[in-house]
Structure formats: C-alpha cells, structure tokens
Structure 1
Amino acid sequence: MHKSSFANTFTFKIEPDEQGGATKTVTINRHNIAEPPDPGEKKKKAVSAHLLIGFDTEYQTIRDRENEYTVEPGAKNDLLSYQFSIKLFDKNNPGAHPEAEGIIIPEADNRLSTEEFIGFAIGSLIEKYPEIIVPTSIYLLGHFIRADLPAFSDFNEKARRTMSNIRGTFVTLKNAIPISFSVGEGEIAEFKVSIRDTILFSPGNAKSLAVIGDMLEFKKIQLGATPEEDKDIKQNMGKFRAERWPEFREYAIRDAQVCVRYAEKLITQSDGLFKSFKMPTTLTSFGTKLVLDGWKTANQDALGILGREKVKEKKFSQKLGYFITTTSTPYMEEVFYEEAFITETYHGGRNEQFLFGVADIGQWRDHDLSSAYTTAMSLIGLPDWRNLSNINSLDDIQPTDLTYVSVDFAFPEHVRFPTLPVRTSGGIIFPRKGHSKCAAPEVFLAMQLGAKLRFRRGVKVPFDSETQVFTDFIRTSIQNRSKYPNGSFDNLFWKEVGNSTYGKTAQGLRAKRVYNLNADDMESLPESKITQPYFASFITSYTRAVLGEILNSFSEAVQVFSVTTDGFLSNADDVEVERATSGPLFLSFAKALKELNPKKEPLEVKHAVHRPIGWRTRGSATLVPGVGDNGIVLQKGGIKTDVFNNTAEENSEIVRLFLNRKPDDKIRYKTGIGLKDMMRNDTDFVYRSVTKRLSMEFDWKRIPVGEKEVHFEFEGQRYSHLTFDTGPIETVAGFDHLRDAWEKYNKTEHHNLKTLSDFRDFDTFQITQKIPGDKASLYIRKKDGDLQRLKRDLCRAFQHQQAGFDMVRSKNKVTQGSFRDAMHDAGIPCKITDIENAKRKEFHPYQTPDTERVRQALETLKNDYFPELDIGLLLPEGAMDKIQKSPDPLAA
C-alpha cells in the first residue's frame, strides 16, 4: 500500500494476499472538481451538494486488558480493512446521485491518513463517472465513528484541532476539517470535511446499525445462519476475511452504505423543514430548532417564553484596542432571583424497586404512560414572567399550575407509595415524612392523599392557559409520525424528535462533566437553547404525580413490582387498572393526550411476563418469560454482559448471576475504553476486560416487609431465594442509617441477602448501630449477634444482681445451672463458663439489640422464670415505649 508520488493519485490493495492481492490506482483530476466559491462575493451561496462518504473499518481486537484503570499507550487493534460508500448528493439534481463503493486492505502497521482515504474514495467515484463534477463539501459518516476514526494515522492530531466530543463520540461543529490535493502545477483542490456519527441520530430504541438498516429497508447483512454463528464470526473477523472473502467484502461495505442512506434521509429532512441542505450534529437538534422556528412563525418571542431578555453591553477589547458591543441573553431579573430555588425543585424520573427477590407466578404487565413527557410539556401555558410572585400558602394549588414550593410533609400510614421526592446522596427517595422541594402537581397529589403539609415558601408564575407554548410543536410531531408505518424512518424520526426535546429543557441544570478534546480537560455540559428550569421541574413533577396517583389507587391486593420513569410493572388486572386511572391527574393527562393524538391510548402495555425477579433500582430480569417479542423485562442495573448477546441471552445470564451469586463474586466483562483515554494514550477503540464486584443486593430506598424464602425452578435446577415486599421508608435519616449500616456490614467481608438467615443477621447488625455508647456496637457478632449480646448482658446482670435479678435472687435460690437451663428454654445458647466469665465485666444497661427474637426470649424468661426481670434496662432506652407504636423497620 502506498501513496504515489503525485498528491492526486492513490494506489491501494483492494483484496488480501490470499485472494490475489490486487491493487487499484485512482486519480483526482482538476476538471472533476467544482469551482471554489468566489472569495470576493459578499454573500455566500448556500451549499446545494455534498459528497457523502460512509466510512467503516473491520478489525480484530487485541488481547483483553486485565487492568481496568491502566490503558497501554499506543494500543492498536489488528486492522483488517477500510471500506467506504461515496455518493454525490445534489439538491438540484434529485434524479441522479452517482455512487461508488470500495475496500482497502492495509499493510501491517501501515495506516492511511485521512487525506489518503478520502482521496481514494473520491478517485473511485471519478473512475466510475469520468465526467462527474464533485463538490468540495464532504460529510464523513460512520456509526459509532469513535471506533473507526482512530484507524487514520493522523487522527489524534486532527481530533485535537478540529473535533468535539458529543455524547462520547467525535463530530465537527462550527469548523470543518480542511484537506487538499495537488491537482496540477501550482493548483490545489481544497475540500472541507465535516464528521458526523449516525448513532447521534438514532432513535432511542434503534441504536444499532442493524435496526437503522431495517428502518431504511436496507438490511445490514447477517454473517451466520444462527445468532450463535453470527456472534462467533464477529469475534473472529480475521479468520472470516481469510476464508470467506466475498462475504466479508459485502458485509464490510454494507455498513458504510447504510450510513450514507441514513444521511441522505436526514439532510432531506433538514432541507424540507428548515430550508437548510445540511446534516445537523444530533437528532435532538432537530427538535430544538423546530420549537424555536415554530415560535418565530407564530410571532412569539422565544426569549420571552424562556424568561430571558437581550442585553447589549459595551466592553473595551484589549486585543482590538477599542470598545465593542456584546450581546447576551440572561434570565429576566424576576426569573433569575428564583432560579437556584426552582432548580432545586427539579428532579428526574421516579425509579424504585418495590419487590426484592422472586415474584409470584402470574400475569405481570409493564404499563407505560404514552408520550408522558411530551404530554406534560403540552400543558405549559405562556408564562407571565414579569408578574412572578412569592406565595404565602398552599391554598388553591392546581395540578397544572407553574407553582413551586418547599414543604415539610407527613403521609398517612395507609399510603403505600408516598409521592413527594427528596434528594439524598443516594439518589431520589420518597419517604413517609420529610422535607421536599417540588412543583405543583406533586403537592396537589399529596393533599389528595391526605398528607399533612407545612408550607415553607413558594413561587408562582402566572400563565396564559390558552396559549400553550409547546403544543403546536408536539402536535406537528405526532401528526407527522402518524402518517407513516410503525418502524419506518419517518415514523421513528418524528417519535424521537418529539420525545427527546423535553431533555433539552433540563440540559445543564444538574452538574455534568464532559471531556473537552481541544482543552484536554473536563468541563461542565452547557445549557441548550431552550433550557428552562421552571419548565423542566413542572414536566417531571407532573409525570411523577400521574404515576403516583395510579400506584396509590390500586387495592392492597395488587403488587407493584417496580416503577421506572414513566411506567410501572404490576400484577394489576384490567379492573384494577381502570379504577386506578380514574383520578383527576390521570384524567387530565388522558385529556391532554387526546387533544394531541386522538388515536393514542394514555396507558399502554409494553411487556407481559409470568415471573419477574428484582434486586435494586433499575435492576430486574425475567424468570418466566411471557409470550412473543415483549415477553422479557430486563433492566441490568449497571451489569454488562457480552456485547454480542441478544436480549434473551442477556436475561438468562443475569438471572444466573443473581441466583448463584456469592459474597465475593466478581464479574468480568469487556468494555471499550473511554474517549478521554483514547486521546490521552493515542489508542484505538480497544476493549479491555474489567473485573468488578457483583452488586445485586437491595438498595434500601424502602423498608422490607414480609420477608420469606421462595422455592422455584430455573433452567432445570431447584432454587430458593429470600423475597420481600416493601413499605415506605420513614425518613431520610432512616434511609441514611440503613445505607450506612449496610456499608459497615460489608466493610471487612461482603454479604449477600439470599436467605432468611442472611436477612436476620443484617437486621440484627443494623439495630446494634442504633445502640448508644461509644463502642457498644463494635463487639456485636454479625452472625446471631443479637442473641450473643443478650446472653452477655443477661449473664452480667445475673452475676451483678442488676436489671431485677437482685429481687429474683433475694426471693429464690437460682443456681448457675438453673439459670443456664432457663436461658436454653428461651432460645439463648448458654454455657456455665459464659455465666462464670460474666463476673469479670460490669453490667451496662440499654446495650441489647431490640430484635423480634430478643423480645421473644426476654418475654419467655420474664413470664416463665423471672417475673421481676426488668426488660427495659436491657433494651435501648425508649424501646419499650416504641414496640407497639413503631416496630423496627426491618422486623418481620
């Protein structure tokens, strides 16, 4: 492989040596290149034609890296091929889009530069169409292009100067990459190359190139006859190239072709919507621009809607030596003063696991609120920011108000799912009591549920409900989507444009750090053009409130397995669902959705399974699947499996991990290194093996209730596993206590929660953490620690005649043997030596854990043997008063 001595002529190998090693030479001629724009023209002409170059590489990954923190500098994959699909996409000549494709086989350790690859692609198109005139605007396209761009020898240097990091991949933003070819004596042909990654335009459920190919009706090629064979081939592409070259070539080029066809669609959409024959950087940018253009078309002030204003300011420029006028768009004064408070009322989706372990066999359905966030957006009326005011009470709050409050709250005991969010270091929780900063929908719901609320402060924004600022945009997205078949490009395009725009209202509100290629440093993710904390807070609050109303409308007979963002998994039948969806919040949601899309049902069933298992927030899988493609519920909870696994394989693997886990289990999986490591170490996108401790235990956001062991079968084997339902955690302090206790419990050795014994041991441990005293809890055993401590304290009290034993022993002669026998009868293992050794230590009151079996043992001793025994001196202070009023949160 070499570049010829002429900068416009390129010769490369186009088949491997075992297939003959043929080469191909192509040339870029001056007469084939469009005239550059006249630099003297004041107004630049709009670009009406681009070269679209789909780009992909095939490579064999190098050996796994064992250390997850260290990246070997300069690590490179075994590069097998570069492939391209190139097309002239001319707006003014829609009937003719010349295209060509090709493949380059690199020599070992000799990689192409960007210019060489693009020059060969352009030359191949010219070779096929000798009279073609090619434009100088180029889009270099790939799907997850982060894995392919490092194959260029000059990648790192170009990335530092010209590329940006968007969602962990490479793109160019304002400035394209300049490349040039010498096409004659003293003549240079200059091109501008823009990098685009089609993964940034992929709908949420269609991130793979295979799904995009299906969407375009241009299928990605499957290599094997079965999924297993396909996986094996992809893991051994070097062997596949050597043994099945024609199939390798076709498969490799197809990926590049899919990228080109997808780019055509996106540029056509951009031109049709915005009269801009360009490819944006992301799919969400379509939505943002549509919103802003819609406001402009309706003669609405975009800055005014967002609570901003234009401010001009004169500043002296040291560089220029004179004053310049700058323009900024800060929040209006009234909006700015409350911005920090409103941002505190913004929380994400509600995500909780309500059942730990194995659910009962039955019909478990995953219901989702249809278009939840977009429907909530449609309710936002035109704000009157100038009349924003502070309120003095919770009177007359309505669920669609732009009102934001700080309240203390306490929900009644019968409320199964409290609905006011509280932010903690462990994420959002929904305790029974506490303090919350939130928006009107959840305050309205809390009052409907009978919560006691103490108002602290509040802000209200008046609005014009007749002028809903997002409705036209959302309705347009829905109407356009409904014109096309499900799964088609246009259908999924409009679905994603509508659904993703909510996120732009919240962008930059919570600190998120991203890697800046040019500065080689981390920086905060900036706000979007439509970031607005008041809107983001209302949208998320309304969605959580609608879900909360449904959950609390179910009868006690319904088990809710989990809730995730805009949906929930439960065993509720149609009668229960109908009753639960008759509340005012859901009815307002259904009405708003019907106005947007009359054909859409407000609550949809996404999955139906027969037996789920769960362990923590966003951690669940399916033990007994349902029927069809939607018969598996799977949320991996941060666990990664083989990248080539399909959903069924992933589900089975994760179920096995959960059922067979041991305290010190570790999982090992392959993961691609991060963009920052790639840049700093000048590496390819290499995989390394990461080993980490398996974490599949409960997250303590709720309190276990009714713990038991369940017996069942999976893959022909019998299992039993700890299972419990949950109730609300009482307070943030209770949550912090349990999380802290669990951390301490696992500090010196790790533990699972797989049996009742496992659960009771931790229950005892967490109770001991509440016992007052400097070091009292440090000496509690983790196995049967409650009974061991009870034995110790009873023996000391007996020997020193404390806790009522002075009266016991003054009335009757109690020998060490009879005391031992009484202890045994109460379920407390005890030896004579335990009683004798107790003489050496003083008795200290209030040091025995208040667990169920401790109380039962004490009651047996008091009722059957020692009526004068003072139980209150053994249990923590106040425990006797609380036993009936407030049972221990982890007690059975």
Structure 2
Amino acid sequence: MKNETTVADSENPKRASDDALLAYCDGYFAELMENSLTDEARQKRGLAPKPAAQLTEKERYLKARQTGKFNLNRAMRRRVDRKLGPERGLGARVFIGFDAEWTRSRKGRNRILSVQFYLIGPTGEVLTLVIYIENGDILSQRPLLGDVINELLEAALDDGTIEEWPAEVVLCGFFTRADITVFSDFKHLRPQLDGVGGTLVTVGKAAKFELPMSATRRAVLKQRYQSVVGDEFEPHLLSLRLIDASRLAPPGKSLANIGHWLGIPKIDLPAGYDKSDMTRFQRERREEFEAYGLRDAEIAVMYVLWVIWFSTRHLGLDMRHLSATASGLAVRIGESCIRRDGVALNVALNYEVKQITRWDNTRGVPYSQKKRIPKQARRWLEPFLADVFIGGHNQCFVYGPTDRRRFYDPDLSGAYLTALAYLFVLDYDAVRWTTNIDDFIGHVAGFALVEFEFPEDVAYPCLPVSTEDRGLLFPRRGQSLCTAPEIELAKAMGATKLIIKHGLVIPWMARDTVFARSADAPGKHRSKTKETPGNDAPQDGLLATDKQAFPPEHYGDDGYRLFESFAIFIRDMRSPYARKTLPFEFVKLLGNSLYGKTGQGFKRKRAFGVREMDSVVVGTSRVSEAAVAALVCGFIRAVIGEILWKLPKGATLVSATTDGFLVDCPIDQLDLTGTLCRRFQALVDRVSPGSHMLENKHQVMQLFAGRTRLQFTVEADGDHKTVTAKGGIKPGPDVKDENAFMLDLTLNRQPGQKLTYESFMSMRDQLPLELDLQTETRETRINLEYDFKRRPIPSSARMIPMAGTGQSHLAFDTEPWNTVDEALATRLIFDAWRDDHCLKTLEDFQAWEYYRAFKMANLKGAKPAAPSSAESGPRTGRKNLTKGGYLAVAKQLFLGAYQKKMWGLDGADLSQRKLAEWLTLQGYKTSVSAVKNGTREQPVEHLVPATDEVVAFLAKMKERFPGLEAAKFLIR
C-alpha cells in the first residue's frame, strides 16, 4: 500500500514539480550544509576535514555560477505561443523574490526608482526582471502587481523557466512591508494579508489575486487544465502567498547576514554612494544599480527556499504547507513529535472537537461546522492559570561599576526548551483545590495564591509579585501568584509564613491513559514503532534518526512528557552543525520558539490587524495552554532562585535575566545540589545527555550594572565574549562599538538627556493612509538610572574607578524590599527626582536619600485637608520643596511649633515682630506675616532630612530656646 502511495505521488504533476525543486535545492545547498558540519560530524560521515583556507563568499558565488548552479536570464523574452494540451498538469508553485529601491520624496511618500523580481523555476532556471519607474512618487505611475506577475509568468512559460501554469505564486521579500506597499494595486491585496512582527505576510489560506488576463488567454488555460483541476479553475484568480524572510530568520539577522550564510554576498554600494541617494547611483551606474537590487531579491527567495528545503529534507515537514514564521514551523514540529509518539494532539493538549450547527442565510439551509476548543474543565480554570503565567526572574542586584575582578555569565542550558520536557499531559478532569503546602511539594503541576514572609537573612527571596507596569518584584513579604516549584523552594529557604490562600493541583494524566485515549481518538497519529521517511505523506512527519526512537525512553515515568520528543529532536537536528552556522542557528531558533506559542493569547494583548485596519486581540495558537506556559516559566524562576539562594558566601551577584545571571563565581564553585537544580539537570540528561545544566556565555573583568537588562563591559577579559545588554537604548546604525557607546553615554549623561534615533513608522500610521514606509526621527529619554526593584543600602554607597576611563562612578549594593508598596512608592518618587538629577556621585546619592526620606515622611505624616477653606483651617502636614529647600520646611515647622507652644517651645517669650527680627538677624530672613502664618501650620514630627543647613538652623534655634526638641524635626 505504501508503494502505491509513492507511485501515485510521483505521477502527480504538482508533487513532481515540488520534487524537482527539492532535487535542485539538494545540489544547490549541499556545499552549504557540508561546510556547516562540526569536525566530529564530518568524521562520522566520512567527509574530509575542512580545508584551512576557505573560499570567500564572492568566490563561492562565482564558482556556483561557473558550475551551472545559476542560469541568469537578464532580460525577459517576448512571449511565443505554444501548443497547449490537456496532457500537461498544473504546476505546483513558483517562487519569486522581489525588492524595491527608492529615495524619500516627501513625508509619507517615496520616489520609487525600480522594482526587481527574481523568479526561480522548479529545476533552478532563473528569470529576472527590473522595472524602472518614472515619477515614482505618484501612485498612479507605479506598476500594478497583477500586471507584473502575469507578465513574469508568461515570460517564464515562453523560455522554459517553468513548464506549467502555477497553482500558487510565493512572493518572497525581506521586510515585505517596505516593498509590497509600493505597488499601485496593493490596497486590493492588503485585506488578505496579516501583520506579524511589524511586517506583512500571508498566514494560513493564500490570498486570491486577480491577474489582468485576456478572455482568450483565460479560455486557453482553463481548457488546458480543466481535466486536471475541474471546472472551477479560474486561471486569472491567482493564489498568492507573501513570505517575509526576516520572519524566518534568527532575531537581529540582516539580509547581509543571510547572504553570508547562503554564500550569496549582498552587494555593497560603491564608494561615494549612499543608501539615502539611490537616484544618483541609478543614474550614474545603472548596471550596478540593477545588480544591487536583484541581489537583494535573490537572497530573499533563496533563503525562503532553503527554509522550505531544510524543513522538508531534514525536519520531515510537508512542503505543501508553508509557514510564514519560525514559530509556526516550531508548532508544526512540536505537533509532529507528539503524533510520532502515537499520541493524539487533542489528548495531549486537552482539546475537544465540537460540532456546531449554524444557519446559512444565503442558501437558506443549516450547515454543520467542527470547532476545536479547549476541554470544558480547562476553560473554567484558564483565567486563573493565565494570571499565574507571568515573566522571568529579572533583577539587578547592584548599581554602578563592579570592583575589578573576574565575572561570569552562566545560563541554564537550553532553559525553556529543556523545561518543556518537565511537563506531563495534564488531567483537568481530576483537578483538586487545596490549601495544603505538602500538596505542592515535588514534581507536581500546582498553582496558587500564596501569602508569604521571608526572614531578614534571606538575601534573595524567590516568590514573585507582579506589578502593573514595573514587572516582577521579589519582596520579603506579600502575596504571590506562583507555581509549585517556587512554593517548594520558598519552604526550603525557610519562609516564616507560607499560607496557600487559593491553590489547585492538576494531576498528571497516567501514561497508559494517554495512549489509550489516543488510540480511540480520531485523527492521524502514529504508533510507537519507528517509521521510515515518506509515509503518511499528507501530514507533517519527522524523519527517523539512528539516535532517537519514538516515543523516547520513559524511564518509568507515570505520565507522557508532552514536549520531550520535540526537545530531543531539536537537539539531534542541531548537534551535527557548528555554532554560528545557518542550520545551527535556524534549529536553535525553532527550539526557542515553541515555548512562546504555549503562552500566546492569554494576556489579551492587542495588535494592529491589517485586515480589520484596527486593533485586534491576539488569539491563541494551536499549542496554547496557560498551565503549560505558567509551569514552565515558574520552574525556570525557581531553578534560578535556588542557585542564587545557594551562592557562596561573599559572592557578588550583579544581575539575573530570565535564565542566566552575572556573578563573580565560576560555574564549578556554584552549589547545584539543591532539589530543583537536580531536577533540571535530570531533564538535561534526558534531552541532551552529557551536557551540564549551566553554560558560561560571557566573561569580563569589570561590569557596569544600571538596572534590569542594562549591563555592559567596562574591562574585557582577554578574548572572552563581553557583556552588552543595552536596556532598550538604541545606539543607532552608525555606531560600530555599542559597548563603547554605552560606556561613554553613562559617564557623560545629563538629567533629562534625550537620544535621537530613526525608526520605521508603525503599520497603524502607514497602512490606513496608504503611505510608503519611511523612517521617522524620534527622541527618547535615556534611562541609565537604577530601577529600584531592590532597596539600595545607603552604607554601601561608594565611588569605584572605571578601568581605562580615568573616571569613577557611584556604586551601591541592594537588599530586598519588605513590601511591594515600598518599592512602588520609592520608584514614583525617584521618577520625579530624576527629572533634574542623575545618580553618578556620592553627592547625588546623598541628595537622593534626602529627597526620598522627605517625600516618604510627607506621605506618612500628611493629614487630609479640613473641609473648610485653607484660609480658615490649619494647613496639612504635607510640605513641598520650594526654592528655599529643606531649610525653608524646617523654618515653617519651627514657626508652627512656636505659635502652638509645641516641641519644647511652651516658654517662648518673643512677640511675632521680635521673633521675625531675631530670625532675620541670625541670617534667616523672615517677615512678620510669615510668623503669623505659623498659626495655620500643623507641625508634623520627623519631616525634615538632617542636611547640614537644617542641622545648623536647629542648633541656632536651640541656643536661643534651650527647651526646643530638635529631634522632633528630623527624619529618623
């Protein structure tokens, strides 16, 4: 039966066309893949070691052209009518790369200079087209996409680049929002596109696009393919799929990076020419201008082809189902792994299929529709579980430059990919609510609202408290929505209070139950035996490897580990390739993408909908499950928290960022014997045997720590990789050394300083007004100050020299806040103070401490104003700083206490006039009316910081009025 399927596929013209393209890619990408292998992998495959001298990108490209890998047709030929017959089948897909070149004309409108197309046939033949545009800033003068594609396809048929009219055209660009919008008929295509990551793609169903085809030509094509695709075939309605290569590339990789990987170097502009003035380049060096644009189109389409080829040949995915994003590919692989294990997706992910009957108003008849939805028990619990799904462990534990010694950057090995193997299938039917702490100990799926308190000697509390706009805080006491691993860790750390206010545990579904339910479930999922490639062709199916059996060894597990096969498969796919090569980075991207999809759609985030031209709520993915996302994230937070708790005494912890931390302690001196670390290492042993749970990513001699996600290198440590986390600051495209930029910016920053940068306009601004994509100059206020997620320790404030700069900068250590309210109040106060100040020196820190203390005392001592007018009633205790500063506040308090005979002034003997004259004589200019106003003051104790001028003032007052209780004025 299997052989019959294979024969049938080979006789299918559509699949034959796909196979021809794959065969072409086999040869084209063979050298790239071979050069990406590690020396060990090359040896295992019997390949010779890499030669010491490698060809340059340009040399590889020229060699490929000489050996016939490229068949460039620089000009399109005139169409020649050919005899058409029903014996020839409809072609599968045609891949076309495209790119546009322009210069800015005016706000919202560019002058389009040219559009380039790079069409690749099923056996590698190439047809190119460059369209030059006059008056390209006028929409009506720009080409119609339908015209261009129709002309390209006809020309490709004429010269044999393609043999059949395509079933679908795949249009490939790099950041397509810039290029697809230049066509004058884009508005007709836009309602069928989707916005993903700030660009435009086709997700799911292909767009239908009308070609300007004559009635005669339509009739000829329809007659030709009618016997193959039926009477409904309309050749002028083209299926069009838009793919953006940037959404399939690792984050931050440019077109030049991709071209480097593919051995197709992006062409640099000649000396003296600039991207902002392409008009001159086009006018003076037209042939080079044409090559420049065509190369961009070529890289885009070749990268898309590589992704499709690699996904088909190496990942076992079906070429007929294209994914627009790397995360979409990751979901397909994850689903394939589960099916390959013999588990039904709906059983694994707790979905059910409901049949819904609706009424068709057009036809006047009812119709049935199947809908896949989460199981009822899961739907009931999902809102609570979504609230437990919060962020990573992100904190900065010191501020300023570190002392000069070696610092390390250990990361959890494949943190989220490995942690996905932590989970078994959840059994929502057996869920139980509990407030018993013991129910949350061990490898359980527990979620709870916990009231907690840690003792004073715990330096790094582990229970997160989510704030509205300040991320996660880790105070000593409060209430936390958290997971079982974090509760287990809090108990081990000696939390003095740990009360489950509301808690639930979802048991793991028994392994036998998972497979039994899967056997009875409808749909296609494989048995437990290893399969060979090519079976079950219409479905995505992973290729068998010598290393991995499906399902993987369960080691006596009671349940089925939901994503363990995915994690192992990603490891096996990545392991033969050297780091920084294309296949390694691409598979790494896929591995890191799946976890994010498990948490998609639960936070009611909104995005701009290209079809709706309005904000829409981001929906769930096919693998979204709030409990899965929450537990994985909580487990990683707990593992990091346990490592921090067990740091050696005296170790300097700089920061923690999600799955890693900066510390002056090498990995071999870290205590990884805790329960959660052993649990994580056990997962690493299953997913990647022989690997250590921690991997050192960077190593430096001195760091600067600003705030969460803002740490950079002051002094490197030899050739080790340095740390540069910019905290959202954008240095700009002209900055060559971002670390040096951050260092200079930090040392020379001023209060309120702004940074100018260029960024693309948003889709919300561009598409409704049918504007061209342009950059906009924006200003952002730089933020290099501490974020106060932890409390600064005043006694630790000091100045530390920054190596190689000749300058010193403020530094201090921190401790946990007692409560979140303290942290948030302090942060609000600091946000006001930093309008006119920076934390750079000890004097700055002292000024901040005075300001904070004064504002906090105001908050505690302020009383509500009397219902009567301010003129007739006493003033509240809240004071604002005026030009006179803290001294003016101290004088106001003194006058109020004097008039009311308080704070040891009950025996004061000076009249209002005499007191005003005496104060003025002492250097504190005071009017009689100011003394009289003291009757309206309501003195509040401990309101003024003990600045030098305040202390001197109080000393002078006490000389004249010995009974004065000066301590009543000062903040304790």
TM-score of the aligned structures, taking structure 2 as reference length: 0.76
Aligned equivalent of 1:216: 262
Q: Out of 876, 881, 890, which is 1:790 matched to?
A: 890
2:457 matches 1:457: no
**What is the Cα deviation at residue 140 of structure 1?**
0.5
2:267 matches 1:267: no
Aligned equivalent of 1:4: none
Q: Which amino acid is the alignment partner of residue 172 of structure 1?
A: T
In structure 2, distance between residues paired with 1:395 and 1:866: 64
SS across alignment from 1:367: strand
Aligned equivalent of 2:694: 603
**What is the Cα deviation at residue 374 of structure 1?**
1.2
Aligned equivalent of 2:784: 696
In structure 1, distance between residues paired with 2:170 and 2:87: 17
Aligned equivalent of 1:612: 703
**Deviations 1:647-695, CA, capped at 9 Å, x for gaps:** x2x3333333333332332222111111121111111111111123333
In structure 2, distance between residues paired with 1:530 and 1:322: 34
In structure 2, distance between residues paired with 1:276 and 1:695: 47
2:188 matches 1:157: yes
In structure 2, distance between residues paired with 1:582 and 1:857: 57
In structure 2, distance between residues paired with 1:131 and 1:509: 46
Cα pair 1:33 1:135 within 8 Å, conserved: no
Cα pair 2:120 2:161 within 8 Å, conserved: no
Aligned equivalent of 1:890: none
Q: Which amino acid is the alignment partner of residue 633 of structure 2?
A: T
Cα pair 1:60 1:238 within 8 Å, conserved: yes
Instruction: Count how many residue pairs are aligned between Structure 1 and Structure 2.
Output: 807
2:718 matches 1:675: no
1:273-422 equivalent positions in 2, closer than 5 A: 273-422=316-465
Q: Out of 80, 94, 97, which is 2:124 matched to?
A: 97
2:172 matches 1:141: yes
Aligned equivalent of 1:534: 627
* CA distance 1:868–1:311, shift in 2 (3 Å): same
Larger mean Cα displacement after TM superposition, 249-258 or 309-318: 309-318
Cα pair 2:91 2:165 within 8 Å, conserved: no
* CA distance 1:61–1:626, shift in 2 (3 Å): farther
2:294 matches 1:253: yes
**What is the Cα deviation at residue 850 of structure 1?**
5.8
In structure 1, distance between residues paired with 2:93 and 2:939: 84
**What is the Cα deviation at residue 545 of structure 1?**
0.9
* CA distance 1:241–1:318, shift in 2 (3 Å): closer
In structure 2, distance between residues paired with 1:869 and 1:585: 59
**Deviations 1:157-200, CA, capped at 9 Å, x for gaps:** 3213x212122211123132324354783536534221110111
In structure 1, distance between residues paired with 2:103 and 2:239: 31
Q: Which structure 2 segments of 5+ residues have no match?
A: 1-73, 220-234, 511-556, 865-874
In structure 2, distance between residues paired with 1:605 and 1:783: 52
In structure 2, distance between residues paired with 1:434 and 1:286: 41
Cα pair 1:745 1:765 within 8 Å, conserved: no
In structure 2, distance between residues paired with 1:523 and 1:193: 24
In structure 2, distance between residues paired with 1:186 and 1:51: 19
**What is the Cα deviation at residue 787 of structure 1?**
4.3
* CA distance 1:660–1:243, shift in 2 (3 Å): farther
2:489 matches 1:489: no
* CA distance 1:571–1:157, shift in 2 (3 Å): same
Larger mean Cα displacement after TM superposition, 386-395 or 621-630: 621-630
In structure 2, distance between residues paired with 1:281 and 1:808: 83
2:840 matches 1:754: yes
**Deviations 1:687-730, CA, capped at 9 Å, x for gaps:** 111123333333222212246353646886x5454332222122
**What is the Cα deviation at residue 816 of structure 1?**
7.6
Cα pair 2:876 2:938 within 8 Å, conserved: no
SS across alignment from 2:768: helix
Cα pair 2:125 2:161 within 8 Å, conserved: no
In structure 2, distance between residues paired with 1:211 and 1:259: 11
2:143 matches 1:112: yes
In structure 2, distance between residues paired with 1:572 and 1:862: 54
SS across alignment from 2:466: strand
* CA distance 1:238–1:705, shift in 2 (3 Å): farther
Q: Out of 750, 774, 794, which is 1:662 matched to?
A: 750
SS across alignment from 2:499: strand
**Deviations 1:459-479, CA, capped at 9 Å, x for gaps:** 111114442111011101111
* CA distance 1:598–1:698, shift in 2 (3 Å): same
In structure 2, distance between residues paired with 1:241 and 1:53: 23
Cα pair 1:28 1:183 within 8 Å, conserved: no
More strand as a share of residues: 1
Q: Out of 715, 729, 733, which is 1:643 matched to?
A: 733
**Deviations 1:506-538, CA, capped at 9 Å, x for gaps:** 000112111122221111001001110110000
RMSD over aligned CA atoms reads: 3.5
Aligned equivalent of 1:170: 200
Larger mean Cα displacement after TM superposition, 779-788 or 359-368: 779-788
Q: Which amino acid is the alignment partner of residue 177 of structure 2?
A: R
Q: Out of 823, 826, 845, which is 1:738 matched to?
A: 826
**Deviations 1:365-422, CA, capped at 9 Å, x for gaps:** 2221111011111010122221111113111523531011111111111222221111
Cα pair 2:403 2:800 within 8 Å, conserved: no
Aligned equivalent of 2:680: 589
2:773 matches 1:773: no
Q: Which amino acid is the alignment partner of residue 504 of structure 1?
A: K
In structure 2, distance between residues paired with 1:508 and 1:533: 9
Cα pair 1:388 1:460 within 8 Å, conserved: yes
2:713 matches 1:622: yes
Larger mean Cα displacement after TM superposition, 104-113 or 779-788: 779-788
Q: Which amino acid is the alignment partner of residue 708 of structure 1?
A: A
Aligned equivalent of 1:9: none
Q: Which amino acid is the alignment partner of residue 192 of structure 1?
A: S
Larger mean Cα displacement after TM superposition, 526-535 or 97-106: 97-106
Cα pair 1:33 1:133 within 8 Å, conserved: no
In structure 1, distance between residues paired with 2:289 and 2:432: 67
Cα pair 1:581 1:587 within 8 Å, conserved: yes
1:407-446 equivalent positions in 2, closer than 5 A: 407-426=450-469, 427-446=471-490
* CA distance 1:512–1:106, shift in 2 (3 Å): same
In structure 2, distance between residues paired with 1:303 and 1:339: 17
Q: Which amino acid is the alignment partner of residue 253 of structure 1?
A: L
* CA distance 1:99–1:308, shift in 2 (3 Å): same
Aligned equivalent of 1:66: none
User: Identity over aligned residues, as a percent?
Assistant: 27
**What is the Cα deviation at residue 761 of structure 1?**
4.7
Q: Out of 238, 246, 258, which is 2:279 matched to?
A: 238
Q: Which structure 1 segments of 5+ residues have no match?
A: 1-22, 39-46, 64-71, 90-95, 884-892
In structure 1, distance between residues paired with 2:568 and 2:198: 32
SS across alignment from 2:906: helix
Cα pair 1:406 1:456 within 8 Å, conserved: yes
Aligned equivalent of 2:637: 544
Cα pair 2:440 2:505 within 8 Å, conserved: no
Q: Which amino acid is the alignment partner of residue 198 of structure 1?
A: A
Aligned equivalent of 1:83: 116
Cα pair 2:684 2:691 within 8 Å, conserved: yes
